């Protein structure tokens, strides 16, 4: 029986359990007329029975699908001759894969030996047994759970409280998924990064000046010594981020000011949705535009005034990234400016200052912390931005601050190191996780500070 069929069957049983539970509760008090004798509404007894049918059996199915493959592989390995059991982990893995592929009818690498054939038959048998066992056990759990719940239904039984306990448990579990995600990110990135730092010293990674992540497949290979000095990536990231901020901060801030102070309601009504569209365009689309339209334009413009511009210049990527970030800066600045009490603005205007003076000398200084917090969030966004730089910035790790040259960034390198098939435990792939760790720590720091500052100043004037 397929897992989907099983789950559908469980669903049907749950429904039946609900109706049985509900009618049972009514029956115990002798019909709907004597409803008041029940502790809870009849529906709760139904839910109670349904929960007992569904939860234990579903938990079993889930556990089974996680544990089953591992157990079967372990049993298969145990049944192999001693010679095969002593193979190295990699070869054993290959053998098991072949057995599994033969059993499921996939392509097998190499010849099909008798051993392989026997093992694959055993694999099929084990899988079939496991399926049968799962179906029987699951249905057994469902029936027993339902029967247990059914028997407990009595007029004084506090079904509502039980059901509500389950509901609260589900709510708590759901809200802790966010925490689990963070823990998962930290652990997965950290563990692989530690493995990387065993091969490459932390100091070399953080302060080395050359980045050329080749690792040798054979010992005698030419250029086998990879070097993992990430400084060129950091400077490249900072350069592109700086260009983006150079565009986004003045433009975003002035947009916010203009829309808040000067524009007519009509212009505001047109401009705000346009900025929202800018924020909603997928980054891969910005990347396409940067690579195919902006980069050639920057190159031609540079040539026209006598500069030699690389076709994948930091300038093109940074400009487009800056435009992408304008809406973020403008909306956060808008919030910060609006949080300044109206009395300060009115006071400044009443003393005879012009609107620009009010803005520059009174409102902006008061809103500055909030704006700085917003800029920090924008910087974090720019550092973590991937698609624009993958498509429009280069791969060459140049240590330069010239915006007309091609630079590479942390995110570009993570992508290039991990796209494509690679051995997972080489220093090359692990380096991506080390870069990911740096990226995560830096953006987390910026976000924590930025969010805190933005929130504090919003509250300070409330």
Contacts with another protein in 318-357 (CB under 8 A)? 323, 326-327, 352, 354-357
Instruction: Please tell me the total number of residues recorded for the chain in this structure.
Output: 462
CB of 411 to another protein, least distance (A): 6
- Range 74-133, binding another protein (CB under 8 A): none
Helix, strand or coil, per DSSP, at residue 437? helix
- Range 289-308, binding another protein (CB under 8 A): 289, 291-293
Which residues are CB-neighbours of 360 under 8 A, at least 6 positions away? none
CB of 413 to another protein, least distance (A): 11
- Range 145-174, binding another protein (CB under 8 A): 160, 163-164, 167-168, 170-172, 174
Q: Are 226 and 428 in contact (CB under 8 A)?
A: yes
CA distance 194 to 199: 9
Structure tokens at 5: 């069929």
Q: Decide whether 149 or 414 has the Cβ nearer to another protein.
A: 414
Q: Decide whether 71 or 112 has the Cβ nearer to another protein.
A: 71
Q: Decide whether 175 or 225 has the Cβ nearer to another protein.
A: 175
CB of 155 to another protein, least distance (A): 19
160 CB burial (10 A radius; 0-12, 13-18, 19+): middle
Number of residues that bind another protein (CB under 8 A): 90
Alpha helices of 153-227 — where are they, by DSSP H? 159-199, 202-207
Helix, strand or coil, per DSSP, at residue 212? strand
Site membership for another protein, residue 317 (CB under 8 A):
no
Taking residues 233 to 272 in sequence order and writing x for each that binds another protein by CB under 8 A, - otherwise, the string is -----------------xxxxxx-xxx-xxx---x---x-
Q: Which stretch binds another protein (CB under 8 A): 77-85, 130-138, 185-193, 207-215?
A: 185-193
Residue from 160, 162, 147 nearest 24 by CA: 147
Q: Decide whether 136 or 165 has the Cβ nearer to another protein.
A: 165
CB of 165 to another protein, least distance (A): 9
Site membership for another protein, residue 283 (CB under 8 A):
yes
Q: Decide whether 209 or 254 has the Cβ nearer to another protein.
A: 254
For residue 211, what are the β-bridge partners?
Answer: 228
Cα distances (angstroms) measured from residue 254 to each of 240, 318, 326, 360 = 22, 19, 10, 11
For residue 273, the tally of other CB atoms under 10 A from its CB is 10
Site membership for another protein, residue 202 (CB under 8 A):
no
CB of 376 to another protein, least distance (A): 10
Site membership for another protein, residue 391 (CB under 8 A):
yes
Query: What's the Rg (C-alpha) of the chain?
Result: 32
Give the Cα-Cα-Cα angle 430, 436, 437 (nearest 5 degrees). Answer: 95
């Amino acid at each position: 029986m397929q897992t989907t069929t099983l789950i559908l069957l469980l669903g049907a049983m749950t429904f039946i359990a609900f109706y049985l539970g509900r009618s049972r509760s009514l029956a115990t008090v002798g019909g709907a007329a004597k409803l008041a004798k029940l502790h809870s509404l009849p529906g709760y007894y139904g839910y109670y029975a349904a929960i007992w049918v569904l939860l234990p059996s579903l938990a079993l199915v889930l556990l089974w699908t996680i544990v089953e493959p591992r157990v079967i592989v372990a049993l298969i390995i145990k049944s192999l001759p001693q010679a095969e059991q002593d193979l190295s982990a990699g070869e054993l893995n290959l053998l098991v894969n072949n057995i599994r592929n033969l059993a499921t009818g996939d392509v097998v690498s190499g010849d099909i030996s008798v051993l392989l054939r026997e093992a694959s038959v055993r694999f099929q048998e084990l899988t079939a047994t496991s399926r049968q066992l799962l179906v029987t056990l699951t249905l057994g759990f469902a029936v027993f759970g339902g029967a247990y719940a059914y028997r407990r239904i009595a007029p004084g039984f506090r079904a509502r409280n039980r059901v509500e306990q389950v509901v609260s448990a589900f709510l708590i579990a759901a809200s802790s998924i966010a925490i689990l995600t963070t823990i998962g990110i930290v652990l997965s990135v950290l563990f692989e990064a530690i493995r990387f730092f065993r091969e490459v010293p932390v100091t070399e990674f953080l302060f080395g000046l050359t980045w050329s992540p080749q690792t040798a497949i054979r010992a005698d290979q030419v250029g086998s010594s990879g070097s993992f000095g990430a400084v060129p990536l950091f400077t490249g990231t900072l350069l592109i981020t700086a260009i983006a901020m150079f565009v986004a901060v003045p433009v975003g801030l002035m947009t916010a000011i203009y829309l808040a102070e000067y524009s007519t309601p009509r212009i505001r009504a047109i401009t705000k949705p346009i900025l929202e569209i800018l924020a909603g365009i997928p980054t891969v689309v910005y990347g396409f535009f940067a690579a195919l339209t902006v980069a050639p334009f920057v190159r031609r413009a540079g040539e026209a005034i006598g500069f030699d511009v690389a076709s994948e210049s930091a300038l093109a990527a940074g400009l487009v990234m800056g435009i992408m970030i304008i809406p973020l800066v403008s909306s956060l600045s808008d919030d910060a400016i609006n949080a300044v009490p109206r009395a300060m603005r009115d006071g400044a205007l009443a003393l005879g200052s012009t609107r620009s003076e009010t803005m520059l000398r009174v409102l902006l200084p008061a809103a500055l912390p909030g704006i700085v917090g917003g800029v920090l969030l924008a910087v974090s966004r720019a550092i973590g931005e991937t698609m624009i730089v993958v498509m429009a910035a280069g791969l060459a790790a140049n240590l330069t601050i010239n915006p007309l040259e091609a630079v590479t960034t942390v995110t570009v390198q993570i992508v290039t190191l991990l796209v494509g098939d690679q051995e997972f435990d080489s220093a090359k792939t692990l380096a991506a996780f080390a870069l990911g760790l740096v990226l995560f720590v830096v953006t987390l720091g910026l976000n924590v500070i930025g969010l805190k500052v933005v929130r504090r100043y919003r509250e300070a004037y409330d």
